[in-house]
Homo-oligomer: A and B are copies of this chain.
Amino acid sequence: MSVTIKDVAKLADVAPSTVSRVIANNPRISEKTKRKVKEAMDYLGYHPNFNARSLANRSTQAIGLVMPSSADKAFQNPFFPEVIRGISTIAHEQEYALYMSTGNTEDEIFEGVVRMVQGRRVDGIVMLYSRVDDRIMCYLQEQKFPFTVIGKPFKNAESITHIDNDNFKAAQEMTEYLISLGHERIGFVGGNLNLVVTIDRLLGYEKAIRNAGLPYKDEYIVHEEFLKEGGQEAVKELLALKDPPSALLVIDDVMSFGVLSTLNELGVSVPDDISLLSFNNVMLSELSSPSLTSVDINIFKLGYEAAKGLLECIQCPEKEAKRVVVPFQLIERQTCSKVSGK
């Protein structure tokens, strides 16, 4: 059917192994035959068959991506395209392809990962999220299959290469920033408590509150689904308090959109009545009105480094696990202001 190494060999009048060597750019092959073979390849339009190569080679030149459940709201977050952009940049440089696993349920996703791993469809995996007690991560560790994680593994973090922001510190600093603006009643709007990032940021928030000698109130902490309903619920709960917060630390820009929209419906003005500071600085965060003050966590770099780390794992399995910390930076826009009257 399609052109194989043998066809090329025949035309160039050499052995198939010679052609193979030319492809691999084997140094001990004469320039002359190299040229001859290359001409034949061009002439026939030869392209190596990757499956055959993988089989002989035991390497697929592909890396697998594990995303959250596509039924999950988080899937729609612009975080993912951006992180994939980072991953694909380095994948391209090294001629790796991307293999995706999605599914509507946890089981589907798990099963997809098993197929990737056992079927030897990929050389390694990047986990695009980190959650508490993750089945997939346990499985990959058991199998000793190369993988890296974006975010901090809940346990065994030392033995797993992972790429993360210092979320604890980030949340702490941001809370301090709000405090420096005069806020003393600061709410925390978190997402899924299964996600390690939620936990880290919550702890950082708590630290700052306690350091400042402010009361740490449970009723200021809310965890909700993303988006509309979540944002709505969260906001309503918080505003219903006798002493509602004057500032909110929100874990994700998209969630902030929901919060913003709900506040707007309720006629609460941002930032005059309430300040909003969130994380991620996704592309759209400058487009809301008011535009979001947000922490740029450098999503692209998270992806880039995660893939880079993975390729290192694959290429030198002996190398020990490492932790890469990607810096963050506050982008001040329009949703934070000094507390009124100060």
* Stretch of A81-89, A150-158, A242-250, A304-312 at the chain-chain interface: A81-89
Copies in the complex: 2
Bound form: Cα–Cα A131–B48 in Å: 29
Chain B residues, CB < 8 A from A47: 114-115, 118-119
> Does A88 lie within 8 Å of B76, measured CB to CB?
no
The range of chain A's interface size is 35 or more
Interface residues of A in 1-56 (CB under 8 A from B): 1-2, 47-52, 54-55
Residue ID in chain B nearest A282 by CB atoms: B76
> Does A85 lie within 8 Å of B102, measured CB to CB?
yes
> Does A119 lie within 8 Å of B48, measured CB to CB?
yes
**Shortest Cβ distance from residue A247 to the other chain B in the assembled complex, whole angstroms:** 20
**Shortest Cβ distance from residue A272 to the other chain B in the assembled complex, whole angstroms:** 15
A98 in complex: contacting residue of B80, B100, B288, B291, CB < 8 Å: B100
Chain B residues, CB < 8 A from A76: 78, 81-82, 282-284
**Shortest Cβ distance from residue A226 to the other chain B in the assembled complex, whole angstroms:** 9
Chain B residues, CB < 8 A from A73: 283
> Does A100 lie within 8 Å of B97, measured CB to CB?
yes
Asked if A120 is at the interface (CB within 8 A of a chain B CB), the reply is yes
Knowing A60-B51, A97-B101, the reply to whether A112 touches B85 (Cβ < 8 A) is: no
**Shortest Cβ distance from residue A249 to the other chain B in the assembled complex, whole angstroms:** 19
> Does B97 lie within 8 Å of A121, measured CB to CB?
yes
